[in-house]
Amino acid sequence: MSLLGGGIFKGMAVTLRNFVGSYFDKERLTTKEYAWRTDDKLPERAGDYPKEEAEQLSDTTTVTHYSRNFPMLLHDEGEPMDTVRCVACQICERECPPQCIYIEKSKDKMERGGNKAQFYPATFDIDVSVCMSCQICVEVCPFDAIVMNSQFELSTPDRFGGLLLRRDDLLKSNDYYHKIHPEEAAARDKRIADEKAAKEAKKKAAEEAKKKAAEAKAKAEAEAKAKEEAESAEKPAEAPAPTHTDAKKEDNGE
């Protein structure tokens, strides 16, 4: 026999414990308070505010490492446009469900990080008033060039132009990415390094295999020639040179 309505009192005890507990135990609070700016300056456009990357960081420290808002473009160490990872392949533009990305491919190619020369984005715009923060662009990018930013202070008095983030607003360093999403960035960097190592190992293995194959072929041919020569000693020898150049041609690059 339980007390009639006892469940209600039990529930009320739980809520009372939460009510009182949240005043004494800061760990209970699931949200952190946003640090308000001391000046009441309004931004001109979304990308302008706050201007410095350090300031943006101070905003993003108030959210968790798993928060995401709108995409940003990653660049490696160095001048942003010299080390931008995006090659303007436009996969994200095609995959974007609300079609908020607009990319224009460059006319010329640019070499980055010792890789083969590639295109780069001459224009890369994201309309954050359309973006739905789905992260599909991040999923589909084969170059790890676009990731989610957690910056949320994007209010602007201009609701059209101000909410259109330009390429230069979107460019963020990999260091910044490490600061706002440490675990994710570390995992991504590790994956990139692993992939690179695996590719290199594969390349090496393939080269060696080809070398071996070529050698074996050369050997076999030499043997065959020796045999032939043995059979008809008067016949002149043929050069087996083309095999080596064929092997090099097949060497694959991106």
Partner 1 sequence: MNWELIGDILLATVPLLVIFPSMFALTTWVERKALARIQNRIGPNKVGVPLTPYGGNLSLFGLGQPAADGIKMLFKENIVPTGADRLFHLLAPILSLIPAMLVLCFLPLEFPWLNGEQNSVKAFMLDGAVIFFFAITGLNTLAVFMAGWASRNKYSLLGGMRAIAQMVSYEIPLVLSAVVVVMIVGSLNAAEIAEAQAGWNWYVFQPWGLAAFVIFFIAALAETNRSPFDLPEAESEIIAGYFTEYSGFKFALFFLGEYIAMFAISGLAVTLFLGAGGGPGVEALPWLKVIWFLAKVCILIGVMIWLRGTLPRLRVDQLMGFAWKFLLPLSILNIFIAGFAWHAKKANEGTAVSVIVWVAALIILYAAAKGLDHVNRAKVKPRTYQYGE
Residues that bind partner 1 (CB under 8 A): 1, 4, 8, 11-12, 14-16, 18-19, 21-23, 28-31, 33, 36-37, 40
Nearest distance from C-beta of residue 194 to partner 1, angstroms: 40
| Residue 8 or 192 having the CB closest to partner 1 | 8
Tokens of 199: 């590719």
Rounded to the nearest whole angstrom, what is the least distance from the CB of residue 22 to partner 1 in the complex?
5
What is the rounded CA–CA span in Å between residue 152 and residue 29? 20
Angle between helices 242-249 and 182-231 (to 10 degrees): 160
Taking the least distance from each CB to partner 1, the nearer of 18 and 123 is 18
Q: Taking every pair of C-alpha atoms in the chain, what is the biggest distance, in angstroms?
A: 115
What is the Cα–Cα distance from 207 to 161, expressed in whole angstroms? 52
User: What separation in angstroms does the CA of 112 have from each of 26, 86, 115, 201, 254?
Assistant: 47, 10, 6, 21, 13
Q: In whole angstroms, how close is the CB of 5 to partner 1 at the nearest point?
A: 8
165: helix, strand or coil:
strand
Question: Which residues are CB-neighbours of 136 under 8 A, at least 6 positions away?
Answer: 92, 95, 96, 97
DSSP β-bridge partners for residue 164: 127
Which of 164, 148, 142 shows the shortest CA–CA distance to 87? 142
Nearer to partner 1, 21 or 78 (CB): 21
Which residues touch 215 (CB under 8 Å, ≥6 apart)?
Answer: none
What is the closest distance, in whole angstroms, from the C-beta atom of residue 2 to partner 1 in the complex?
10
Question: In the complex with partner 1, which residue's Cβ is closer, 35 or 197?
Answer: 35
Residue 155 beta carbon to partner 1: minimum distance, rounded to whole angstroms: 12
Cβ of residue 18: shortest distance to partner 1, in angstroms? 5
Q: Is 110 exposed, middle or buried (0-12, 13-18, 19+ CB in 10 A)?
A: middle
CB nearer partner 1, residue 13 or residue 216? 13
CB-nearer residue toward partner 1: 40 or 234: 40
Concatenate the DSSP letters of all residues of 113-137 into one string: TTS--B--EEEEEEETTT-----HH
Given the complex with partner 1, which of 31 and 245 has the nearer CB atom? 31
Give the shortest CB-156-to-partner 1 separation in angstroms: 17
